[in-house]
């Protein structure tokens, strides 16, 4: 089984060395621009008005957990572009997946995409993503922050779950599981072009045509976040005035606000909305959306009811 291990030599190693045989944990040295705790989200509570939340790139979260022997849904860290730095309060086994980024332990290069042992007192740093947007850092045992409605995920829309990371925060880590560990996991390259399949409906008749979505090129807008991937391109023209009554929204719904620019709902999306929905992007396509940087070209592929291209 492949993993990297470093001796404890960094500053603070002696101070924290006693923690190696105590409760494991991580102290935030540098939180990065936006780092949150995420698992697979809050399922089955949308009727309560609670968003799903959870990792935007689910395959990357599952992969990181498998590398350290965790269940697929164990809580881990999701970083955004700028990475994170953490001090190990006890010896831990970690793995970084998702957006490729340099990984170091006390300043020395360590492996991305495989298990790395970090001694007590050492500083683990995930640097800025070289491609893509979001990296995932899993630790054996999972992050043992309190669960809210069955999930440890941070929800930036509703405010449920732990707050986004700040310097000096301490994150508890659970006991390592006895499950099997993967040696390496396949990783998809962040997209040069984001291709999103789109199952049309229910409000296509609110627009003069939706087939322009397949012809025109859109780009990922800088205003994209965990709530939605926003696009820039030719606006869809309304065929009727007025607004819809508020209705339930699902993951991947493509809502069109008054400016005509399609908005693809991601994990922190609201559970209701009043703008027309032209279609739904299947969940497997959303992992690539989570890694698409602003300016990335977006192409929609329109599907029939049975999932076949038009």
- Is a pLDDT exceeding 90 seen at residue 13? no
Mean pLDDT of 14-40: 75
Q: Find how far residue 235's CA is from the centre of its chain.
A: 28
Residue 22 and residue 83: Cα distance in Å, rounded? 27
- Is a pLDDT exceeding 60 seen at residue 307? no
**pLDDT band for position 309 (50/70/90)?**
low
Note the pLDDT of residue 20: 37
85-132: pLDDT as tens digits: 999 999 999 999 999 999 999 999 999 999 999 999 999 999 999 999
Mean pLDDT of 151-176: 96
> How far, in Å, are 121, 133, 269 from residue 53 at the CA level?
32, 17, 8
246-263: pLDDT as tens digits: 999 999 999 999 999 999
Domains of the chain: 3-172 (no CATH), 194-303 (2.40.100.10)
**pLDDT band for position 3 (50/70/90)?**
low
Note the pLDDT of residue 8: 38
- Is a pLDDT exceeding 90 seen at residue 142? yes
**pLDDT band for position 23 (50/70/90)?**
low
Which of 269-273, 289-293, 304-308 has the least mean pLDDT? 304-308
């Amino acid at each position: 089984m492949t993993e990297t291990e470093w001796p404890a030599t960094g500053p603070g190693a002696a101070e924290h060395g006693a923690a190696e045989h105590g409760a494991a944990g991580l102290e935030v040295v540098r939180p990065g621009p936006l780092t949150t705790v995420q698992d697979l989200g809050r399922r089955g509570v949308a009727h309560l008005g609670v968003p799903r939340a959870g990792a935007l790139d689910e395959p990357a979260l599952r992969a990181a957990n498998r590398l350290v022997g965790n269940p697929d849904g164990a809580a881990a860290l999701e970083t955004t572009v700028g990475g994170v730095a953490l001090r190990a309060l006890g010896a831990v086994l970690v793995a970084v997946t998702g957006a490729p980024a340099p990984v170091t332990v006390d300043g020395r290069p360590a492996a991305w995409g495989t298990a790395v042992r970090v001694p007590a007192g050492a500083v683990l740093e995930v640097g800025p993503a070289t491609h893509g947007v979001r990296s995932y850092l899993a630790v054996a045992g999972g992050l043992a922050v309190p669960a809210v409605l069955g999930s440890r995920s941070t929800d930036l829309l509703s405010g449920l779950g732990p707050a986004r990371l700040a310097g000096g925060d301490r994150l508890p880590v659970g006991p390592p599981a006895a499950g099997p560990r993967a040696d390496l996991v396949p990783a998809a390259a962040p997209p040069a072009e984001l291709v999103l399949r789109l199952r049309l409906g229910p409000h296509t008749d609110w627009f003069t045509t939706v087939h322009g979505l397949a012809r025109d090129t859109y780009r990922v807008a800088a205003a994209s976040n965990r709530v939605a991937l926003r696009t820039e391109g030719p606006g869809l023209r309304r065929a009727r005035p007025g607004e819809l009554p508020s209705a339930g929204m699902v993951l991947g719904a493509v809502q069109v606000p008054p400016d005509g620019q399609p908005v693809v709902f991601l994990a922190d999306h609201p559970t209701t909305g009043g703008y027309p929905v032209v279609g739904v992007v299947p969940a497997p396509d959303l992992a690539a959306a989570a890694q698409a940087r602003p300016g990335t070209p977006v192409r929609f592929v329109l599907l029939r009811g049975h999932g076949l291209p038009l």
